[in-house]
Structure 1
């Protein structure tokens, strides 16, 4: 069965949005309490010491696969793609830092003492959703815009993953962490032994087994399990990494991300007036679209000027504003950090989730409208040429070793 259509960023964005809307609608009907019971249900037995709810099997289990795929993309960008030199990586890195710092400061100024620990929530950018909106409404824009958005979002998510590891880990089991490091080294060695994009079935089985072992060890260590996906994706050699990415993308785009969006968005909307919602809600709603807009735009301009990027290679201010608006679509990673930051207060999790949904929706709508208007300034795209370039890119990446 040909599932290549699911890799399309437009399709991925629509599946994400549809799943989130469906979860929100069901949670606010008579089926809501039953759905909540399912989300919090545990298996009658632990799995090798892990006792997770159904929702945590999604956030701590399936979501690891998404981060694994993202890490593969990140490794490619750092070695062969748009970030393969210090100078190329500097501008999106500076822009990403601005897009992290300004929303965090804006959130802290609005959230109050009770919600202060949620400051990392509005720092995240949803890679799949942001690229999907760009693909839907900014198809005429030059490829440099997509390259900068991808680089910025990947670096942004890497910073978010760092926040998860540092700020949302309560205790660490050093023995489990040490064995996880050994497993990651073994995974790297197995990847080096992989030859050709087909590989051998015993080697593939061994890679999967070691990956599962690494995930279990990291989960047992106390560090959030998504870190395992990132580390495994970064150390895997190019040929098996690209093969894994191509095979896993339909699964992550079609099942993992929509299921996570459905699970995270399925919250009951509080029956209170808007002026009675907590400062956490309003802080996220403002920090995502506004903080990202100013943070990414200002930092991006400073980066291009300070690094003396030639004018012919610079991203225009009008294009940078469009990228900044899409950067405000926090969604997946923002909702994950919201759950981790407020895990001891159910009410704040609900209001934080609503804040992420509202803030991301505002950013998405503003970005879509802005890109639609901006795209009219550019000539129509040659879809045949784009398809040909994509085929060449795929061939080059699968043949690299």
Structure 2
């Protein structure tokens, strides 16, 4: 279903668009336009008769981003059932590497920012932005063997799963189990309807699925679980055959609209007018844990996994694992969401944590571009020598 003529379906352009949107958000937040834009983002839009009364900013982070997680969940479902993670043998090595890419950044963050006010930010540097990582790989990785690409894809998918679990478990509050149960019933109905799309009136069933999806989202939002988890549950419930068409239909909207809008609003923070020594430990913890923690964690644990899991030595060289580690340090989308959730009640620390995500992800982006380019050039030289 790939459409090479549409840049929003490519690996490179959406990543560039996301970075530009975040840059514009950060820039405008530090200009005289700040107050006007902040006023729009703080504007509340209630839904009569539902009790839902969210600001524009929260409609974006809780509402639109749920669609992004819906698409991600459908991709996860495919990889877990038919793709790169459909067997224990395929999953074990990237799973160990992903565990290292979570554990080491957490340790680095807590060493730097383990004080009571900032300790809750430990999940922030654990995420990998799969769109950015694959975008960098597409731009700079021409010539890399398929084993590197497959390993990175599996690694990023597992990171997505970990991030989703963190959002669901750590940031739930005042749970209303009845509403959550009703939401799960809606998810089951949604999944059953998706299995009728191939056989019956697609328009009627599709419209019913949209209505049920919105109801499930509202129930999850009201239950105390973060609303984006509704997108995850619905995405996992969709039958695999129609999920491919749904993903294709939503891809340009997610890449061209939802993610850039979220990146703009998430990066819309005022840069503190303080010296570096006055910045919060949360800033430094995230800015260092993302690039450094991911490189060390994924590189070390991945190397150990390869040594344990292969008969004749590692399937990937350590240099390739380090390249994957630099790509894993591009946290961005999920890290920005985690920063907003972890410090929801502390605006000052939240803004500095968001800056830490931007700085750490940008450092990983630059570093990954360099290392991936070097590894790709190395493999191109090997191929050239082998064919000459």
TM-score range, shorter chain: over 0.9
1:302-321 equivalent positions in 2, closer than 5 A? 302-308=304-310, 311=313, 314-321=315-322
Matched, 1:128 2:131: yes
Partner of 2:260: 258
Determine the C-alpha separation between the residues in 2 that align with 1:327 and 1:134. 11
Query: Aligned pair count?
Result: 378
Q: Is the 8 A contact 2:46 2:53 kept in 1?
A: no
Partner of 1:20: 22
Partner of 2:332: 331
Partner of 2:177: 174
Determine the C-alpha separation between the residues in 2 that align with 1:190 and 1:178. 19
By how many angstroms is 1:143 displaced?
2.1
Partner of 1:340: 341
Q: Is the 8 A contact 1:194 1:239 kept in 2?
A: no
- Tell me the secondary structure at the aligned position of residue 81 of structure 1: coil
By how many angstroms is 1:316 displaced?
2.0
By how many angstroms is 1:110 displaced?
0.3
Distance 1:138 1:285, change over 3 A: same
By how many angstroms is 1:309 displaced?
5.8
Determine the C-alpha separation between the residues in 2 that align with 1:281 and 1:372. 29
Partner of 1:146: 149
1:360-375 equivalent positions in 2, closer than 5 A? 360-375=361-376
Distance 1:44 1:199, change over 3 A: closer
Partner of 2:380: 379
By how many angstroms is 1:308 displaced?
2.5
Partner of 1:385: none
- Tell me the secondary structure at the aligned position of residue 73 of structure 1: helix
Partner of 1:242: 244
1:71-220 equivalent positions in 2, closer than 5 A? 71-113=73-115, 114-195=117-198, 200-220=202-222
Determine the C-alpha separation between the residues in 1 that align with 2:297 and 2:264. 29
By how many angstroms is 1:184 displaced?
0.7
Shift >3 Å, 4+ stretches:
44-47
Partner of 2:385: none
Determine the C-alpha separation between the residues in 2 that align with 1:20 and 1:238. 33
Structure 1, residues 317-374: CA drift from partner, whole Å, max 9, x if none? Answer: 2111111001001111001011111011100111000000000000000000111122
Matched, 1:274 2:279: no
- TM-score (normalised: structure 2): 0.94
| 98-107 or 151-160, which deviates more | 151-160
Q: Aligned-pair RMSD on alpha carbons?
A: 1.8
Distance 1:225 1:44, change over 3 A: closer
By how many angstroms is 1:46 displaced?
4.9
- Tell me the secondary structure at the aligned position of residue 51 of structure 1: strand
By how many angstroms is 1:199 displaced?
6.4
Determine the C-alpha separation between the residues in 1 that align with 2:322 and 2:281. 27
Partner of 2:350: 349
Determine the C-alpha separation between the residues in 1 that align with 2:318 and 2:10. 27
Structure 1, residues 184-211: CA drift from partner, whole Å, max 9, x if none? Answer: 1101111222217x96211111121111
Determine the C-alpha separation between the residues in 2 that align with 1:251 and 1:142. 31
By how many angstroms is 1:47 displaced?
6.6
Structure 1, residues 150-175: CA drift from partner, whole Å, max 9, x if none? Answer: 21111112111111111111211111
| 273-282 or 199-208, which deviates more | 199-208
Q: Is the 8 A contact 2:118 2:281 kept in 1?
A: yes
Structure 1 spans left out of the alignment, 5+ residues: 381-401
1:21-36 equivalent positions in 2, closer than 5 A? 21-36=23-38
Determine the C-alpha separation between the residues in 1 that align with 2:66 and 2:305. 32
Distance 1:93 1:46, change over 3 A: farther
Q: Is the 8 A contact 2:46 2:52 kept in 1?
A: no
